Structure 1
Amino acid sequence: MIDLQNISYSYPGSRTAALRGVSFQLAPGEKIALMGANGSGKTTLVRCINRLLKPSGTGSVDGYALDREEDLWEIRRRVGMVFQNPDNQIVATTVVREIAFGLENLGLGQAVMKERVESALEKFHLQSLRETSPHLLSGGERQRLACASVWVMDPRYLILDEPTSLLDPQGREEIMVFIDQARHESNAGVLIVTQYPEEALDADRLLIMHAGRLIMDDLPAHVFSHERKLKSMGLGLPVEVELDRLLGSTM
């Protein structure tokens, strides 16, 4: 379980805290969506989970403490992170090398590595692009590659920071399908940061951040029932929720 208690963080030179006393838990197999306006602290929070940033407060991943340097490797092995811009995490010269890159540090045998890489290529529909340079791929293909490179490591938790924000509707749908397939097949816990309320509808919980604080943590249906509060923070409702309310008000 990922367990965060009273997590706070301030960037050097800033007078305003980016995170203020955030607490929540993410269990294996659970899917949590995280929403909030720009600057609310979403990206800061997810970067604290795998210790790209070092917060104050108490946090752990499967019992490994965020504030213990000797636990850092185990935390990052368990927590796979996909960034908003896939170019920020792609390092290899071909698709197949990018997927294999992380596995090389796990000490796996060649046969096991090859099996995992081929499985990832198939699952994320990248077989025909295996020898292609990542920088020649479309935005959707690069994001699929980023997801494949994380999935192949078999993390216990998937943390995705707005993975669909740069994609067209078809690309967004493809990524969400892949995420849900990976979750169900490996029982991974999923935390997805999103600006699209539709992507939060099937989450087990929806978290809302505002000004560095976690102000809502509930079932998506309950959160979306607070229309006025959400819109005051610049957040919208899923289209189907808006339609249901519109139709309900005219009948």
Structure 2
Amino acid sequence: MKLKKGNRLIKPKLVLNEISYAAFGKVILEELTLTLDEKSIGIIGRNGSGKSTLAKILCGLIDPSKGKLEVHINGKNRSHPNLKIGIVFQNPDHQIIFGTVEEEIGFGLKNLGYSKSEVKKKTALTLQKFDKTNWINLSTSTLSQGQRQLLCIMSVFAMDPAIIILDEVFSGLDLPTTKALDAYIKNLPQMIIHITHSLSSLEKCNRVIWLDHGKVLLDGSPKSVLQEYSKHMLRNVNL
């Protein structure tokens, strides 16, 4: 499967200037300063390291307590990141709200102001690009967990964001399903920010960032960062 963005050249960049976030007296992110402009970026870290909070800030679901986020698309700063950044959450049950695949994919398009005919056309085109045209009338309740995650990815893809954030989309999936879903993800044309505990899925990323207690502990190539992270996890196994 090959997904194309047409003839448009999309150059997204996220600039974080001393981003901090605190809730209920607890500091979750502390003065993160990063420029994210690679095609694929992995973010790793233990539970509670601030990964999901960072994802929500990047896509505009929550505001940082301090600092500034800039979203640049083709050199222009966008004031509303949620218009150009899509997110797929860990649990598809928190994202899927409609009874059929067609309705689910079409919902986001309707919210973007597309007409009924445009929604129908773009929904069909999205399913075609993912080789899932036979899904159009399926009930979402009949889909497996992996299929539901793929539906969430397709729904976000249909809205044509410049950046897609994946927040633990492999959680709870078996190895064959994870590999199948990962194959779709690797072919997405958008800039991908992938938050996951599945280290093998990040080996082909352009960059990996290791968060620890709300700070960047290591930032670099997948080989160097994943190797150090694996060593750290082995040294700190709690049985």
TM-score interval for Structure 1 and Structure 2 normalised by the shorter chain: 0.7 to 0.9
Secondary structure, aligned partner of 2:61: coil
**Aligned pair 1:205/2:214, yes or no?**
no
1:111, CA displacement in angstroms?
Answer: 4.2
In 2, Cα distance between the equivalents of 1:179 and 1:225? Answer: 23
Deviations 1:27-78 (A, max 9, x none): 2x610001001111100110111221211211111213xxxxxx33xx2120
1:18 to 28, 34, 55: 28
Q: Which amino acid aligns with 2:50?
A: G
Q: How does 1:171-250 map to 2 (within 5 A)?
A: 171-183=177-189, 188-226=190-228, 227-232=230-235
Q: Deviations along 1:134-162, whole A, 9 cap, x unmatched?
A: 12211011001000000001100000001
Output the CA distance in 1 between the equivalents of 2:200 and 2:180: 14
Cα distance in 1 between the residues matched to 2:233 and 2:16: 24
State the AA in 2 paired with 1:54: D
AA matched with 1:51: G
CA distance in 2, matches of 1:135, 1:233: 40
- After alignment, is 43-52 or 116-125 more displaced? 116-125
The aligned counterpart of 1:249 is none
Matching of residues 51-200 of structure 1 within 5 Å = 51-55=60-64, 56-62=66-72, 63-64=77-78, 71-72=79-80, 75-183=81-189, 188-200=190-202
Mapped to 1, the partners of 2:125 and 2:174 lie a distance apart of 26
Q: Radius of gyration: which is bigger?
A: 1
Structure 1 residue 230: Cα displacement = 4.9
8 Å contact from structure 1 (residues 85, 166) kept in 2: no
The structure with the greater share of residues assigned to helix is 1
Q: Could you tell me how far 1:215 is from its partner in structure 2?
A: 1.1
Is 1:47 equivalent to 2:56 in the alignment? Answer: yes
What letter corresponds to residue 29 of structure 2 in structure 1?
Answer: L
Q: Give the whole-Å Cα distance in 1 for the aligned partners of 2:154 and 2:47.
A: 27
Shift of 1:115: 2.6
Give the % identical residues. Answer: 31
Residues in 1 aligned to 2:85 and 2:134: alpha-carbon distance in whole angstroms: 28
Determine the C-alpha separation between the residues in 2 that align with 1:162 and 1:5: 25
SS in 1 for 2:183: helix
Q: Which is further off, 126-135 or 49-58?
A: 126-135
Q: Distance in 2 between matches of 1:46 and 1:19?
A: 11
Structure 1 unaligned segments of length 5 or more: list them. 65-70, 235-251
**Structure 2-normalised TM-score?**
0.85
Equivalent position SS for 1:10:
strand
Partners of 2:145 and 2:131 in 1: CA distance: 14
The Cα shift of 1:132 comes to 2.5
CA distance in 1, matches of 2:47, 2:235: 13
Give the corresponding residue for 2:10. Answer: none
Q: Structure 2: which 5+ runs fail to align?
A: 1-12
The letter of the residue matching 1:4 is L
Q: Which has the higher strand share?
A: 2
Distance 1:169 1:163 in 2: 13
Residue identity in the other structure for 1:8: S
Q: Per the alignment, do residues 136 and 105 of structure 1 end up closer, same or farther by CA in structure 2, a change over 3 Å counting?
A: same
> Is contact 1:23–1:214 with CA below 8 Å preserved after alignment?
no
Q: Distance in 2 between matches of 1:96 and 1:205?
A: 35
TM superposition score normalised by structure 1: 0.81
Q: How far apart, CA to CA, are the structure 1 residues paired with 2:19 and 2:235?
A: 25
